């Protein structure tokens, strides 16, 4: 088939596009602007059009678009004029995943990491919402197996269309509530429908909502406080690893630091153990090397380590920051500098109290302007909310080797080149901390 993807620069759409390309379809796509993702797709031989243009629609068999594409998009309009089928990513999943044995990973936090861990263990095809460092992409195609490790998205309810053989749910913390009309009953009901679609369910028994299902859902239940023990943080060739005991299955080592990493790995181990020998799982787990933008070590020397992290919700940031403190202690660093680019005014304001506590333990906190993601500007008094910190409000940061330059009003106000430096955010901070912007 000839398939055209509108919004192909998004991580989710790009994953489907790559997968269909690997399966032998003729793929093209478009986006508003060129990006690192579109450049990678072009390097694979996929034709990319920027910006959106009706000229991109010629004789394709199917048009797939991301959730944010409007009906008046010129490519959507042209496709309908030509009688070409147009479907949203959500609906396209039904067809794309219908013949796969899908291990679908869902939850507000930890989906990408857990899917990448499962991919390392099971070595099947994978579509992840972030780049796995194991294979340098968010997509892997293994035609030798029908196993698909899939990051399932609850933000638009599309996880219901993921054809889950296994539903692995880390947590069900309310997020993306605008899609659910801010109705928590509808939100939780959608999770129940997703779980009930699967033959195999692997669930976190200590999530407040999931715990309410224990009497009605037949599942492999993980009770982290009882089932995960003897957690130790170790360095292997200067890389961070968490070692832990899981039930009576023995000890495991997984890349990364933190109880949340042990939790992610434990759920993945239980899901894989349904069809794999535990010793093979233990060995394959070591293939996992982290994912891009999650505790991503992007620079280091004897005096300094620089880490990029995608965390943009207080729960995520707190979990990662606890890991940062353990890592700094093992590395012998005496200072931790946190750099935060808040993501969306709505998320920042609705969680401001939690944000104000999740950086505890930092020696300096630098806050950049809110990455609006298209939202209207709202005034937030960061000075007042973060007065307990050694706070600097800045406009941007610049990376020069292993030195971070903090800029305010076009003037350098700080140069940081010692200790552990970590950035948090889902906006362009990842490019700033890497020196790519």
Residue 232 in tokens: 């130790």
- pLDDT of 232-258, one tens digit each? 999 998 899 999 999 999 999 999 998
Q: In angstroms, rounded to a whole number, what is the distance separating the alpha carbons of residues 326 and 328?
A: 6
pLDDT mean over 207-212: 97
Please give the structure tokens belonging to residue 240: 């961070």
User: Band of the pLDDT at 177, cuts 50, 70, 90?
Assistant: confident
Beta-bridge partner residues of 424: 309, 340
Residue-wise pLDDT tens digits, 386-422: 999 999 999 999 998 889 999 999 999 999 999 999 9
| Rg for the chain, CA atoms, rounded | 22
Contacts of 344 by beta carbon, 8 Å cutoff, 6+ apart: 370, 371, 372, 373, 375
Phi-psi region at 182: left, alpha or beta (left = phi > 0; alpha = psi -120 to 50): left
- Of all residues in the chain, the percent with pLDDT exceeding 70 is 100
301-333 pLDDT per residue, tens: 989 999 999 999 998 899 899 889 999 999 999
Q: Are 190 and 160 in contact (CB under 8 A)?
A: yes
Q: In the structure, what pLDDT confidence band is assigned to residue 77 with cuts at 50, 70 and 90?
A: very high
Q: Tell me the average pLDDT of the chain.
A: 95
Flag whether pLDDT at 32 surpasses 80. yes
Give me 144's structure tokens: 């030798």
Q: At residue 424, does pLDDT exceed 90?
A: yes
pLDDT at site 155: 84
The sign of the dihedral angle between the CA atoms of 230, 233, 239, 241 is positive
Residue 134 and residue 305 in contact, taking contact as beta carbons nearer than 8 Å = no
Cα separation of 28 and 250, whole Å? Answer: 47
CA dihedral 426, 428, 429, 432 (to 10 degrees): 160
Q: Report how far apart, in Å, the C-alpha atoms of 282 and of each of 103, 266, 276, 279 are.
A: 19, 11, 10, 5
Q: Is the dihedral of CA 290, 296, 299, 301 positive or negative?
A: negative
Tokens 């350098």 found at: 412
CA distance 271 to 114: 11
Residue 179 has pLDDT above 90, yes or no: no
Q: Is the pLDDT of residue 92 over 80?
A: yes
pTM of the complete model: 0.88
Which of 21-25, 125-129, 176-180, 255-259 is predicted with the least confidence, judged by mean pLDDT? Answer: 176-180
Q: Any idea which residue has 């055209």 for tokens?
A: 4
- Whether residue 188 has pLDDT greater than 90: yes
């Amino acid at each position: 088939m000839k398939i055209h993807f509108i919004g192909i620069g998004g991580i989710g759409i790009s994953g489907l596009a790559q997968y269909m390309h690997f399966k032998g379809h003729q793929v093209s796509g478009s986006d508003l602007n060129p990006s690192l993702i579109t450049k990678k797709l072009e390097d694979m031989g996929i034709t990319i059009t920027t910006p959106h243009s009706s000229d991109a629609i010629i004789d394709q068999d199917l048009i797939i678009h991301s959730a944010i594409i409007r009906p008046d998009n010129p490519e959507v309009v042209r496709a309908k004029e030509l009688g070409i089928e147009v479907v949203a990513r959500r609906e396209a999943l039904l067809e794309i995943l219908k013949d796969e044995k899908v291990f679908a990973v869902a939850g507000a936090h930890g989906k990408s990491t857990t899917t990448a861990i499962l991919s390392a263990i099971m070595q099947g095809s994978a579509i992840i919402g972030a780049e796995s460092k194991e294979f340098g992409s968010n997509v892997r195609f293994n035609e030798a197996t029908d196993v698909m490790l899939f990051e399932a998205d609850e933000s638009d309810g599309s996880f219901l269309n993921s054809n889950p053989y296994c539903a692995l749910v880390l947590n069900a913390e309310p997020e993306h509530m605008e899609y659910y009309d801010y109705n928590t009953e509808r939100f939780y009901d959608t999770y129940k429908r997703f779980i009930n679609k699967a033959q195999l369910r692997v669930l976190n028994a200590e999530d407040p909502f999931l715990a309410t299902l224990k009497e009605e859902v037949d599942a492999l239940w993980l009770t982290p406080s009882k089932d995960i023990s003897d957690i130790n943080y170790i360095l292997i060739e200067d890389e961070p690893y968490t070692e832990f005991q899981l039930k009576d299955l023995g000890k495991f080592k997984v890349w990364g630091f933190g109880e949340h990493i042990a939790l992610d790995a434990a759920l993945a181990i239980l899901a894989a153990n349904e069809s794999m020998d535990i010793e093979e799982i233990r060995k394959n787990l070591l293939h996992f090397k982290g994912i891009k933008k999650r505790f991503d070590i992007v620079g280091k020397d004897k005096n300094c380590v620089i880490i990029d992290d995608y965390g943009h919700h207080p729960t995520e940031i707190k979990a990662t920051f606890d890991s940062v403190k353990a890592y700094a202690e093992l590395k012998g660093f005496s200072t931790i500098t946190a750099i935060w680019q808040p993501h969306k005014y709505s998320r920042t304001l609705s969680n401001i109290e939690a944000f104000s506590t999740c950086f505890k333990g930092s020696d300096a906190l630098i806050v950049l302007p809110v990455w609006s993601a298209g939202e209207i500007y709202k005034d937030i008094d960061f000075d007042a909310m973060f007065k307990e910190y050694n706070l600097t409000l800045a406009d941007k940061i610049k990376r020069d080797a292993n030195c971070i330059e903090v800029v305010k009003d076009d003037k350098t106000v700080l140069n940081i080149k010692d200790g552990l430096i970590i950035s948090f955010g889902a906006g362009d901070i990842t490019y700033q901390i890497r020196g790519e912007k």
